[in-house]
Chain A
């Protein structure tokens, strides 16, 4: 019997293409060096370390921390403005479609093992990322800014994207012997944390994204205002809760601060109340004549 061919979803393809686009400096992988062109003054929307050899633009979270760290000299207008625009236009659609680290987490979760489903505990843990945002991404850089010491707390102590995309991809290159020689306790702490997070993602859907990512927390704060995303038609919704039960994230309602707008809920809604919209324009959903477009 012929094996059924696996066809990637539109969302998966967008995730893949955006990861490739963020890291289009392929020469960097071959040479073990990072891109140093003018595009790096622009931030990409998703979490992607600017020390990745392929990165062609800046990490929004790293840029935010450094802008806060430099705020004693210069207000952080530029990065705050960029994050505000990303949040208003795309919101957490960025997490679901445009984050390379989100893609890595989802692919790891495909490894066939027993999975840990969402629960009241994971729902509580999903609040931790707001603390991480407040303490590591804003508090520590701001505190040390008063002492004129730049300290991006999240990048330095936690960021698994920096360890995976920056540290490992740079250090594994034969030309970077000097970097390998400099590794110490901090590197091994971050490397252990990376292993823990990646292992966690095999068992828990998007574990880092749900519990620790300060960028997702930041975009989540603008969830209600974001132009793009899944929206519920209140006139059709019966509050049956099928959408919330089917969602792998810790949402309380479709489109809330935990929702990454993957669109899984569109397919499970028997009342055709959910659609993926850009403002009033329906991009995918029951109203679209070509229903059957894959999420």
Chain B
């Protein structure tokens, strides 16, 4: 295994772990809460 492959694999596992931790700590719920409302900043209203 080359150093680049090892780094890729480590970061991939880190990415997966962050997503799982994020789901558990309510991060996914936050994304949903923001995305289901019209974003006033995005449309230039606030």
Q: B-contacting residues of A (Cβ < 8 Å)?
A: 34-38, 40-43, 49-51, 55, 57-59, 62-63, 66-67, 70, 74-82, 84-85, 88, 151-152, 155-156, 159, 162-163, 166-167, 170-171, 179, 182-184, 186-191, 224-225, 227
Contacts and interface: CB of A to CB of B under 8 A. Distances in A.
Contacts, number: 156
Contact of B42 (A166, A171, A184): A166
Interface residues of B, number: 34
Q: What does DSSP make chain B's interface, helix, strand, loop or mixed?
A: helix
Given A62-B35, A74-B27, A88-B12, 14 more contacts: A40-B32, A50-B42, A58-B32, A77-B19, A78-B19, A78-B28, A81-B14, A82-B19, A85-B12, A162-B43, A163-B42, A171-B43, A224-B4, A225-B7
Nearest to B19: A81
B13 to A, nearest CB: 10
Nearest to A53: B38
Given A70-B30, A77-B21, A85 B16 contact: yes
A41 B28 contact: yes
Nearest to B34: A66
Given A34-B36, A41-B32, A81-B16, A159 B42 contact: yes
Given A75-B25, A77-B19, A81-B22, A49 B42 contact: yes
Given A51-B38, A78-B22, A38 B15 contact: no
Given A34-B36, A88-B15, A225-B7, A167 B42 contact: yes
26 contacts: A35-B36, A49-B42, A58-B34, A58-B35, A66-B34, A70-B30, A74-B27, A77-B19, A78-B19, A78-B22, A79-B31, A81-B21, A82-B22, A88-B11, A155-B41, A156-B42, A159-B42, A162-B41, A162-B44, A166-B39, A179-B38, A179-B43, A184-B45, A186-B46, A187-B44, A225-B11
